[in-house]
């Protein structure tokens, strides 16, 4: 079936480029980003469009204006919560799932009985053996910032054995799965809600109860609507989620 391909607007391409530099660590907290004049010259766009780029990066919480020295990467940029969409986009852009300064520890990787919600998403019988990976993500100060559980069809274990090992997969689990099986994620959906933390949540995030947390349920599907990955992630208070989009 024919598919219309529309390139991103110029200013969105520049934003994505600078975000990549921040995500990869090429630009770190306190580093200057190019001025609107330099952006305009380097990318062949107008000053007004270049100013739009900087304004958008500020709105996303990635940079801030420092009087007398220009626009710099915010020290608080690593306190932003990355959604499933953000991490999927990061893999496509940079080949890495975590931003600079972040790292993850896989605390469990095993076959487990599928709960009802997992069975529904993966189209398997409730109680069927599915792959479950639990990870905790930390910031540069070694503080837990999120915890997530990823679920995969148990029949994929033979083709993608790393999913059952407690070793970090640099490119991300679903990208590894794509490489091993050819299942390509082309569509994702995030469902985000707030709830009170359980004792298990508090233990994973290192927080005290009572506490409110944000939960995101992410489903990545291939072109045939088959679920490649079903993930449930949680993060505590103080983690912002920022969504940017084009309205032009």
Position with higher pLDDT, 36 vs 2? 36
Q: Confidence class of residue 4 from pLDDT cuts 50, 70 and 90?
A: very low
- What's the CA gap between 113 and 59, in Å, rounded? 43
Of 139 and 151, the structure prediction assigns the larger pLDDT to: 151
CATH assignment, 10-78: 1.10.10.10
pTM: 0.65
Could you read off the pLDDT of 47-65 as tens digits, one per residue? 999 998 898 888 777 888 8
pLDDT for position 63: 87
pLDDT digits (tens, 9 = 90+) for 167-210: 888 778 878 888 899 998 888 888 999 999 999 999 999 999 99
CATH of region 101-240, choose from 3.40.50.150, 3.90.850.10, 1.10.10.1110, 3.40.1410.10: 3.40.1410.10
Domain residues of the chain, as ranges? 10-78, 101-240
Spatial separation of the C-alpha atoms in residues 88 and 110, rounded to whole Å: 23
Place of tokens 């940017």: 244
Q: What is the C-alpha to C-alpha distance for residues 172 and 223, in angstroms, rounded to an integer?
A: 20
Is residue 42 within 8 A of residue 34, CB to CB? The reply is yes
Q: Within 13 A of 167's CA, how many CA atoms are on the CB side?
A: 9
């Amino acid at each position: 079936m024919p598919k219309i391909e529309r390139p991103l607007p110029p200013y969105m391409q520049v934003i994505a480029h600078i975000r990549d530099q921040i995500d990869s660590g090429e630009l770190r907290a306190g580093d200057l980003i190019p001025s609107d004049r330099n952006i305009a010259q380097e990318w062949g766009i107008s000053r007004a469009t270049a100013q739009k780029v900087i304004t958008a990066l500020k709105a996303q919480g990635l940079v801030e204006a420092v009087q007398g020295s220009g626009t710099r990467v915010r020290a608080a940029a690593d306190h932003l919560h990355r959604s499933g969409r953000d991490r999927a986009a990061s893999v496509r852009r940079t080949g890495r799932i975590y931003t600079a300064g972040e790292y993850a520890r896989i605390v469990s990787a095993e076959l487990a009985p599928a709960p009802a919600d997992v069975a529904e998403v993966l189209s398997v019988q409730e109680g069927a053996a599915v792959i479950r990976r639990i990870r905790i993500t930390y910031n540069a100060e070694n503080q837990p910032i999120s915890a997530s559980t990823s679920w995969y069809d148990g029949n994929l274990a033979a083709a993608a054995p790393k999913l059952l090992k407690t070793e970090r997969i640099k490119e991300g689990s679903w990208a590894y799965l794509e490489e091993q099986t050819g299942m390509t994620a082309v569509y994702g959906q995030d469902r985000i809600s707030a709830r009170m933390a359980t004792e298990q949540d508090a233990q994973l995030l290192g927080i005290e109860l009572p506490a409110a947390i944000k939960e995101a349920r992410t489903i990545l599907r291939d072109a045939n609507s088959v679920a490649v990955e079903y993930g449930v992630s949680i993060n505590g208070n103080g983690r912002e989620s920022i969504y940017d989009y084009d309205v032009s």
